[in-house]
Amino acid sequence: MDIDNVVTVVGKTFATSFFDIPGIVTGAAYASGDAFGAKFVLPVPKAGTINTVLMQDLDGEGIATELWLFNKNITGTADNAAWAISDADMQYCEGVITISTFKDGGAAGVTNKMGQEDNIGKDYSAPEGKLYIQCVTRGAPNIAAANIPRIALRGSSAEV
């Protein structure tokens, strides 16, 4: 799945708007180590650094989620299936970013949380101007309808 029109580049800085993690099935019980949604493609500068990843956890579960980043297309793992990357696809891995720090969105009864990982400093190279991303859960979420988690990236471009 391609995420179109979510990346804004201003000078040496890029930012995505928040977008739903595509392919998450609501009401399905996930296990730790499962693919969390479908593989998706994010247009980015061809080289840069990811500095911040944000996650709006509208279900309020606060479960660690990994973003596996690849600089070429890979064979994605089906949503809610055990994450398994082939040796052939692993060579395109640019790294893994874990969102594990969450803050409550409000007082009792408010179920949302904001996950935020700052100062990541994850350099990447994306010759096609695309990162192929697959999320993996490190817990057992069960997402309610209308509560699909949303993510956004902030970074800097190394392009001249």
CB of 96 within 8 A of CB of 36?
no
In this predicted structure, the answer to whether residue 63 has a pLDDT above a threshold of 80 is yes
Which one is the CATH code of 7-143+150-157: 1.10.150, 2.60.120, 3.40.50, 1.10.287?
2.60.120
pLDDT value at residue 152: 94
Mean pLDDT of 19-43: 95
Predicted local distance difference test score (pLDDT) of residue 118: 92
This prediction has a pTM of 0.90
For the chain, the domains span: 7-143+150-157
- pLDDT value for 12: 85
pLDDT value of residue 4: 59
Average pLDDT over residues 11-20: 88
